[in-house]
A and B are shown apart, each in its own frame.
Chain A
Amino acid sequence: MNAPYRLKGMTGEWEVVIGLEVHAQVVSNAKLFSGAATAFGAEPNTQVSLVDAAMPGMLPVPNRECIRQAVRTGMALDAQINKWSRFDRKNYFYADLPQGYQISQLYHPLVGEGTIEVLLDEKDEGSVRRIGVERIHVEQDAGKLMHDQHPTMSYVDLNRSGVALMEIVSKPDMRSPAEAGAYLRKLRAILRYVGSCDGNMEEGSMRADVNVSVRKPGEAFGTRTETKNVNSVRFVMAVIEHEARRQIDVLEEGGAIVQETRLWDPDKGETRTLRSKEDAHDYRYFPDPDLLPLELDDAFLDECRKSLPELPDAKRRRFEMMGISAYNASVLTAEVETAAWFDALLSNDVDPKQASNWVVAELFGALNRLGASIAECPVSPAHAAELLRLVADGTISGSIAKTVFEKMLESGDPAGAIVEREGLKQTSDTGAIDAEIDKILAANADKVEQYKAGKQQLFGFFVGQTMKAMAGKANPGVVNERLRAKLD
């Protein structure tokens, strides 16, 4: 168990309490209540239907795929799926909100309580935390204002207006920036496994509202602030650190925390007030009379459940059962693309443990050097498997394998062809090896004397010299065996 995260103040230690509301854009070809497209980066106002622009007399019709994605997400979080839910209108005026209300779900959300399990330390199974999910509801995104197009006017781009969002609300279960970071990363991984959100925080398809309060350990919850629309894991952690420290300073100076909405300024690295509780909107929520309650039947739920892939935790446990280390299993399952690549590798008849070590050390190192993602990896899982098998069956040595892998990355050729072409096959020809050993022992008679006098460490020197003389192609086992035969 790690030590609890505490912040030191003048009056003693403080505990920070964190809840996250994550807005995740649903992967779907069409918007939540209209048929308009949802691709990122299109020309302004080219993906807007009459419904999205809230033309008079237009009506919303729920998009089944968006509902399906939210239900699958709920199932992936082991959450309660509400077979009866309902849409409510959240009323407020803003130029990026054509209807004058957002269709959301306040009173009866689609998904109820669930859980996300996070590991604070990949090497330590004891560092597991279970973070509660309060609910998931689906709602419409707003459009976007552009303030830099005209000297006195703002322009509105409605491409994003009406795009489906899942709002995933955690319980106030997190107690450190690291826990919040781990929760966000894990949530993002699950969403990407499920395929319900691409998790792209830079493009805004996933963003978090960060609720932070502080208290003396063991005391009741303090007053919280909410910092809106934070768009990276790093910023979320920074918001928590900054906001907790600010609140402690306020409280220790005898002040009180005001329940308010704050904004994160990434340039200054601080949060500032957006609006206080007194200025808070009265959203006048009420059931949307244009929409019937959403009722899900068992066949729909069965299909959702059957369509779920193996999720990160299950995959990690399966990998561990294969003898893969906890750390490797955790690293290999963190990203859906990595896990898919590794599963493809495993399907090529390789030793799981050896393969995991090779991927984590060699493949990740190479990708890092190349600045490439696993999706861009020049070596296919099948080619990598061939390389691993050449090592396993003694055709090439581990050190030659590194050379072969470099050449595979450059040329894209299969390992066998490279080994053949470059003559890199390992030899167990005792005649050739003995000949080289004899030369080396003769040339280093002094060291042979020292070894025989008890300086055992010199054995490695003789192995190295022999391998060097054999251009790395000698079977290390045979070299060891012959050397022992001659020296001992």
Chain B
Amino acid sequence: MAGLTGKTIAELRDGFRAGEFSAREIATAFNDAVAAARALNAYTVETPGDALAAADTADNARNRGDLQPLSGIPLGIKDLFATAGVDTTSGSNILKGFKPPYESTVTLNLRRAGAGMLGKLNMDEFAMGSSNETSAYGPVISPWKRSDGGNAALTPGGSSGGSAAAVAAGLAPGVTGTDTGGSIRQPAAFVGISGIKPTYGRCSRWGVVAFASSLDQAGPMTRTVRDCAIMLEAMSGFDPKDSTSLDLPVPHWEAGLSSDLRGKRVGIPREYRIDGVPEEINALWDRGIEWLRDAGAEPVEISLPHTKYALPTYYIIAPAEASSNLARYDGVRYGMREQGSGGLEGMYAATRAAGFGAEVKRRIMIGTYVLSAGFYDAYFNKAQRVRALIKQDFARAFEQCDLILTPTAPSAAFGLGEKMSDPLAMYLNDVFAVPASLAGLPAMSVPGGLDAQGLPLGLHLIGNELDEQGVLNAGLAIEERAGFTARPEKWW
């Protein structure tokens, strides 16, 4: 992976501004890379014309001296974001062919910042999955292979699997992801890139197909921490069309980047040392602690006592919200319609039976169950109370520390098909990611190293509310010390 597609967003931006290459050259290089990488199944829609048009606008803007922050940068967009006139299907058959007449706030922000769109990225259906295998378009194949000489196809993680694979394989310098319970961070860790989920409310959810409204957050996935800062700055901002949007100015995260962590205390939660996690992952965690110490931070042991309840809590709240959010896919107004037999009820049943995949159906059923009369208090209400306790855990922890370091995922990437028959094993992938989601906190995965099989492992930083800067700075400190330069060998 050489040339323009091997560069970071910052490098492309700066090179483009310095006149080393044109935006059209950048767009063309990535368009070609996308077209040549269909074996990865990362993109569900390719929009080379969009990327070129934005590039031409950028080239003209450069001539006029009227550049925007992301002028000349083409991006991949997760298929969960509504893109005007371009298929937006959330990886689901039920929305096959759906072309929204509107643009999500986040992608509109990116366009206004000058970015172009390379295409829509494959994902788990409605963002429900941790391996990209629930997509109606079939799984994304990770560009990484194990170094064991075998040729097993690996997952890029999920739900932002297409997003992760695209960045890792040089099919986009940066992409949007969404994270409900780890869907940015786990895939970023699996493919050796950076990804940040900001504080809940930083990025507008307007025009992002909803999975679990109280948890869904958009964020960038890029090669570097700096690129995450650049992209997140462009994506964020108050949106009056989203009632849960934070009415706060967007900080200048890129300008604020500093890997000097002197005076910072890094919390190491003892509850995250769990059984069954490979020793390599705990070893990387220890290295991460040393890197942060080296950057000037002081490690402190902390306790997040309700951690073990996070996953079950998440798997009540997220499906409950999803069961309601997905009720609108009924065949009446848009998307798939199967007539079925038996009038309206028959049409609902036939449409939803044909349109949703197995994992989505499972979660709709779980969600419907936990909200049912007689079970609501025992499940949903109790889960809400536990969620409050988990938030409180973090609030107390942040009295003793400034940020928290953990592994991102309990394993490296696994093979396609390995966990599909065992939903609980699949759900365990997000055991470290989910607590921060429940608490609405900013969290990031940065590459830490490779495991014995040559696969990337990620380190996970959780910050206090609104402290994306602290997270990015610690990420930068790790990035500088980990020296992670590994790239998958091109086989596609």
Binding site for B on A (CB under 8 A): 50, 53-62, 89, 91, 93-95, 98-101, 154, 156, 282, 284-286, 289-292
A-B contact pairs, 10 of them (CB 8 A): A55-B100, A56-B88, A56-B95, A56-B98, A57-B100, A99-B328, A156-B333, A284-B323, A284-B324, A284-B371
Q: Tell me which residues across on chain A come within 8 A of B98, comparing CB atoms.
A: 56
Interface string of B80-97 (1 = CB under 8 A from A): 011000001010000100
- B206 near A91: Cβ-Cβ < 8 Å: no
Q: Tell me which residues across on chain A come within 8 A of B210, comparing CB atoms.
A: 56-57, 290
Given contacts A94-B344, A95-B344, 9 further A-B contacts (CB under 8 A): A55-B334, A56-B100, A56-B210, A59-B242, A95-B330, A98-B333, A100-B330, A284-B373, A289-B214
Indicate if B372 sits at the interface (CB-CB under 8 A).
Answer: yes
- B243 near A290: Cβ-Cβ < 8 Å: yes
Measured CA separation A100–B326 after assembly (Å): 8
- B206 near A57: Cβ-Cβ < 8 Å: yes
The answer to whether A286 and B324 touch (CB under 8 A), given A60-B243, A93-B348, A156-B332, is: yes
Task: Return B97 CB to nearest CB of chain A, in Å.
Answer: 13
- A284 near B328: Cβ-Cβ < 8 Å: no
Q: Tell me which residues across on chain B come within 8 A of A50, comparing CB atoms.
A: 101-102
Interface residues of B in 188-211 (CB under 8 A from A): 205-210
Q: Tell me which residues across on chain A come within 8 A of B244, comparing CB atoms.
A: 289-292
Measured CA separation A98–B207 after assembly (Å): 17
Contact of A56 among B328, B345, B376, B380 (CB under 8 A): B328
- A95 near B205: Cβ-Cβ < 8 Å: no
- A53 near B373: Cβ-Cβ < 8 Å: no
Q: Tell me which residues across on chain A come within 8 A of B81, comparing CB atoms.
A: 57
Measured CA separation A284–B368 after assembly (Å): 7
Interface string of B91-125 (1 = CB under 8 A from A): 00001001011101000000000000000000000
Q: Tell me which residues across on chain A come within 8 A of B242, comparing CB atoms.
A: 59, 61
Q: Tell me which residues across on chain B come within 8 A of A61, comparing CB atoms.
A: 240-243
- A58 near B332: Cβ-Cβ < 8 Å: no
Measured CA separation A91–B376 after assembly (Å): 13
Q: Tell me which residues across on chain A come within 8 A of B207, comparing CB atoms.
A: 57-58
Q: Tell me which residues across on chain B come within 8 A of A56, comparing CB atoms.
A: 82, 88, 90, 95, 98, 100, 209-210, 328, 334
- B240 near A101: Cβ-Cβ < 8 Å: no
Task: Return B142 CB to nearest CB of chain A, in Å.
Answer: 28
Indicate if B431 sits at the interface (CB-CB under 8 A).
Answer: no
Measured CA separation A286–B240 after assembly (Å): 24
| Closest residue on chain B to residue A91 by CB atoms | B324
Q: Tell me which residues across on chain B come within 8 A of A93, comparing CB atoms.
A: 327, 330, 345, 348
| Closest residue on chain A to residue B239 by CB atoms | A59
Contact of B212 among A60, A282, A289 (CB under 8 A): A289
Indicate if B321 sits at the interface (CB-CB under 8 A).
Answer: yes
The answer to whether A286 and B320 touch (CB under 8 A), given A50-B102, A56-B88, A57-B207, is: yes
Indicate if B392 sits at the interface (CB-CB under 8 A).
Answer: no
Measured CA separation A61–B238 after assembly (Å): 14
The answer to whether A292 and B243 touch (CB under 8 A), given A98-B333, A282-B372, A286-B371, is: yes
Indicate if B303 sits at the interface (CB-CB under 8 A).
Answer: no
| Closest residue on chain A to residue B327 by CB atoms | A100
Indicate if B47 sits at the interface (CB-CB under 8 A).
Answer: no
Q: Tell me which residues across on chain A come within 8 A of B376, comparing CB atoms.
A: 284-286
The answer to whether A282 and B213 touch (CB under 8 A), given A56-B82, A61-B243, is: no
The answer to whether A54 and B328 touch (CB under 8 A), given A93-B348, A286-B371, A292-B244, is: yes
Interface residues of B in 366-411 (CB under 8 A from A): 368, 371-373, 376, 380
Q: Tell me which residues across on chain A come within 8 A of B208, comparing CB atoms.
A: 57
| Closest residue on chain B to residue A56 by CB atoms | B209
Q: Tell me which residues across on chain A come within 8 A of B324, comparing CB atoms.
A: 89, 91, 100-101, 284, 286
Q: Tell me which residues across on chain B come within 8 A of A284, comparing CB atoms.
A: 323-324, 368, 371-373, 376
- B348 near A291: Cβ-Cβ < 8 Å: no
Q: Tell me which residues across on chain A come within 8 A of B241, comparing CB atoms.
A: 59, 61
Measured CA separation A286–B319 after assembly (Å): 13
Q: Tell me which residues across on chain B come within 8 A of A59, comparing CB atoms.
A: 205-206, 241-243
Q: Tell me which residues across on chain A come within 8 A of B371, comparing CB atoms.
A: 91, 284-286
Q: Tell me which residues across on chain B come within 8 A of A62, comparing CB atoms.
A: 243
Task: Return B39 CB to nearest CB of chain A, in Å.
Answer: 29
Measured CA separation A100–B210 after assembly (Å): 14
Q: Tell me which residues across on chain A come within 8 A of B102, comparing CB atoms.
A: 50, 55
| Closest residue on chain A to residue B207 by CB atoms | A57
Q: Tell me which residues across on chain A come within 8 A of B205, comparing CB atoms.
A: 57, 59
- B333 near A282: Cβ-Cβ < 8 Å: no
Q: Tell me which residues across on chain A come within 8 A of B330, comparing CB atoms.
A: 93, 95, 100
Measured CA separation A69–B332 after assembly (Å): 33
Task: Return B345 CB to nearest CB of chain A, in Å.
Answer: 8
- A57 near B104: Cβ-Cβ < 8 Å: yes
Measured CA separation A61–B240 after assembly (Å): 8
| Closest residue on chain B to residue A89 by CB atoms | B324
Measured CA separation A89–B327 after assembly (Å): 12
Contact of A53 among B90, B104, B333 (CB under 8 A): B333
- B213 near A290: Cβ-Cβ < 8 Å: yes
Chain A to chain B: the 4 pairs with minimum beta-carbon distance, closest first:
A100-B327, A284-B371, A289-B214, A289-B213
Task: Return A95 CB to nearest CB of chain B, in Å.
Answer: 5
Task: Return A195 CB to nearest CB of chain B, in Å.
Answer: 26
Measured CA separation A58–B209 after assembly (Å): 8
Q: Tell me which residues across on chain B come within 8 A of A156, comparing CB atoms.
A: 332-333
Task: Return B219 CB to nearest CB of chain A, in Å.
Answer: 16
Contact of A58 among B206, B320, B345 (CB under 8 A): B206
Q: Tell me which residues across on chain B come within 8 A of A285, comparing CB atoms.
A: 371, 376
| Closest residue on chain A to residue B373 by CB atoms | A282
Measured CA separation A59–B216 after assembly (Å): 13
- B100 near A101: Cβ-Cβ < 8 Å: no
Interface string of B468-486 (1 = CB under 8 A from A): 0000000000000000000
